[in-house]
Structure 1
Amino acid sequence: MKNLQGKVAVVTGAAEGIGKGIATRAAAEGMKLVLADINAAKLEVTVAEFKANGVEVIGVPTDVAKEQQVNALAEQAFARFGKVHLLVNNAGVAVAKPAWETTQQDWDWVMGVNFYGVTHALRAFVPTMLQHGEEGHIVNTASMAGLTSQPSLASYNASKHAVVTVSEGLHHDLALRQARIKVSVLCPGWVKTAIAHSERNRAEAVDSAATQGVDAVAAKVGMSVLHAVQNGIPVAQVADEVFDAIAAERFYILTHPEMKQAIQIRMEDVLQQRAPTLLRI
């Protein structure tokens, strides 16, 4: 999909970070925007910024973990613009804990946003996108954690691996039906976002097991992640990679070429049936 002028983009997690960067690039391409985020106040500010620059945009406060809210997002998008051409499932959160300390609430929250946020959107948007029959593109945000496995990030790793494999299957499903909708899975490394502080948007109360003393190794991993994110690449660079992939119809979007070696090592671990290598990404 090369000509984006006047077409419609839906972006979740769009009030800041990678989502806002992608929305900014979409606006620069002349697209109309439907922006979703769980933080209604921040979303309102972001929408106002776009409107001040003459962008045709609406904002829909959305918790992507809730199917009804994603369905409502789709209804508003199609009611306002009639069609959707670019769907970017980007909202994401993270928890840094060893697997045995990751509570059911942690799993529900991380999988709800990172994984079910994608699957809810596919059900809500794809049938109508197929029905209108125009060119389209779906970008699902995974992570390098969807292609490798890092310590103390069990729920995050699992959610992002799930996004990768669902995206791969989605590609096949659409291709076998000769659909005009293409798919990309975004697997960034470290990017300057607020992902390390995603607990701020956690609505439900955290159970007592989650408030106990933090495991020392997990705490060290969490600090390493925070440092790496603070020194990551800018979101605008990620957005450029995304739109290059859309134009080229490229499936895997790897924003950090230097991390490809980590993927190769993991694949070799699998094929040689050896224990996982601890990868520094």
Structure 2
Amino acid sequence: MEQLEGKVAVITGGASGMGLAFARRFARDGMRLVLADVEVPALDAAVAEFEGEGVEVIGVATDVSDAEAMDRLADAAFDRFGTVHVVCNNAGVSGSSAPVHELTTAEWAWVLGVNLWGVIHGHRVFQPRLVEQGEGHIVNTASMAGHTAFNGLAPYHATKHAVVALSEVAYHELAAAGSPVGISVLCPGFVNTRIAESDRNKPEELTRPLVPTDGEGAVDEEEVRAMIRDFFAMQQPPEQVAELVRDAVVEQRFYVFTDDVWTSAIAERHEDIVTARNPRPRGSMFEESMRG
């Protein structure tokens, strides 16, 4: 899709972080915007920002894990603009870092609902229309966690691996059908967003302490949260990622990587797989990013 001016982009998780950066970058190319987000105040602020700049935009409050909400998002986009060209299935949450055996089914369901079902619904409601009109591009936000496996954040890793696989299958299916609709899978490393604070949108009944707050090994949760915020504040800006996404859409590029910090970890994992060797020990994503 070489020409973006006048085209329509739908972005889930579009009111903050990478999604908002995507919207700003697409707006610079003259695109019209449909922003979807579960955080209504942030969504209203984002829409007001673009309206103030003369960008054609609508905001649709959307829980991407809800099939009917995604149906409404697609209907709102086509009712307003009559067409859609770029779909960014970007909404995501980090989930709990508790060990696999301690995670409740509700905690699994929340992360799978946003990270995986959000992408599934995005393909279901938008891909057939893009194929029918013979033009379009879908960008699915995965992660470097979709190519690696570290210690902790099991639901996050599982969903991001699934998004990579889903994207690859969709790519092959569209190519086999001779469709010009493109697919990209964005696999960022750490980016300066609030994803580590995504529990702000978690159902209250799922809230658990980020770290042990009593008993042996107890630490101050607020101190840990401050350290995490400081860590993410030092990472690459979402605007940098948005440039890569924009170029991937224009150039019809499938894999979108934001850095090479994780290259060795990916190579080591693939080597373990092809040699049928037991996985080598891994720390957390934070620890491995320092090592890489």
TM-score under structure 1 length normalisation: 0.93
Contact 1:142 1:186 in 2 (8 A): yes
Aligned length: 278
Q: State the AA in 2 paired with 1:274.
A: R
Q: Pick from 240, 248, 252 the counterpart of residue 251 of structure 2.
A: 248
Displacement of 1:55 in angstroms is: 0.4
CA distance in 1, matches of 2:40, 2:20: 14
Q: Which residue of 1 aligns with 2:212?
A: 214
Instruction: Give the match's secondary structure for 1:107.
Output: helix
Equivalent positions of 1:159-238 (< 5 A) are 159-206=159-206, 210=208, 214=212, 226-238=229-241
- Which amino acid is 1:214 matched to? P
Q: CA deviation at 1:265?
A: 1.1
Contact 1:147/1:161 (<8 A) preserved: yes
Structure 2 vs 1, CA of residues 3 and 227 (structure 1 numbering), >3 Å: closer, same or farther? same
Secondary structure, in 3 states, of the residue corresponding to 2:268? helix
Residue pair 1:2, 1:247 contacting (<8 A) in 2 also = yes
Hey, what's the Cα distance between the residues in 1 that align with 2:192 and 2:10? 22
Letter of the 1:35 counterpart: L
> C-alpha displacement at 1:17, in angstroms?
0.1
Corresponding position: 1:124 with 2:125? yes
- CA deviation after TM superposition for structure 1 residue 37, in Å: 0.2
| CA contact 1:269–1:276 (8 Å) conserved in 2 | yes
| 2:279 paired residue number | 276
Q: Which runs of 4+ in 1 moved over 3 A?
A: 210-217, 219-228
Could you tell me how far apart the structure 2 residues matched to 1:94 and 1:2 are? 33
Q: Alpha-carbon deviation of 1:2?
A: 1.3
How far the C-alpha of 1:225 sits from its partner, in A, is 5.7
Residue 262 of structure 2: aligned partner: 259
Q: Deviations over 1:63-89 (max 9, x none)?
A: 001000001000000111111100000
**1:6-54: per-residue Cα shift (whole Å, max 9, x none)?**
0000000011000000011010110000000000111000000000001
Counterpart in the other structure of 1:153:
153
| Cα drift, residue 228 of structure 1 | 3.7
Q: Structure 2: which 5+ runs fail to align?
A: none
Letter in structure 2 aligned against 1:263: I
Deviation of 1:211 after TM superposition, in Å, equals: 5.7
**SS of equivalent residue, structure 2 residue 205:** coil
CA contact 1:18–1:235 (8 Å) conserved in 2: yes
Task: Tell me how far apart the structure 2 counterparts of residues 240 and 125 of structure 1 sit (CA, whole Å).
Answer: 23
Aligned in 2, Cα 1:38/1:76: closer, same or farther, shift over 3 Å?
A: same
Coordinate RMSD, CA, aligned: 2.2
Which residue identity does 2:142 align to in structure 1? A
Contact 1:138 1:183 in 2 (8 A): yes
SS in 2 for 1:205: helix
CA distance in 1, matches of 2:189, 2:279: 19
The SS at the match of 1:69 is: helix
Q: Shift of the alpha carbon at 1:226?
A: 4.9
Aligned residue identity for 1:38:
V
CA distance in 2, matches of 1:212, 1:5: 44
Q: Give deviations 1:163-193, integer Å, cap 9, x for gaps.
A: 0000000001111111111100000000000
CA contact (8 A) 1:190 1:231 kept: no
Tell me what 2:108 maps to.
107
CA distance in 1 between partners of 2:189 and 2:227 (Å): 13
Matches within 5 A, 1:82-97: 82-95=82-95, 96-97=97-98
Please list every run of 5 or more consecutive structure 1 residues that lacks an aligned counterpart in the other structure: none
TM-score, with structure 2 as normaliser = 0.89
| 2:51 aligned partner | 51
- Give the aligned residue type for 1:114: N
SS in 1 for 2:140: strand
Corresponding residue number in structure 2 for 1:13: 13
Taking the aligned partners of 1:213 and 1:5, their CA distance within structure 2 comes to: 47
Find the residue that maps to 2:160 and give its secondary structure: helix
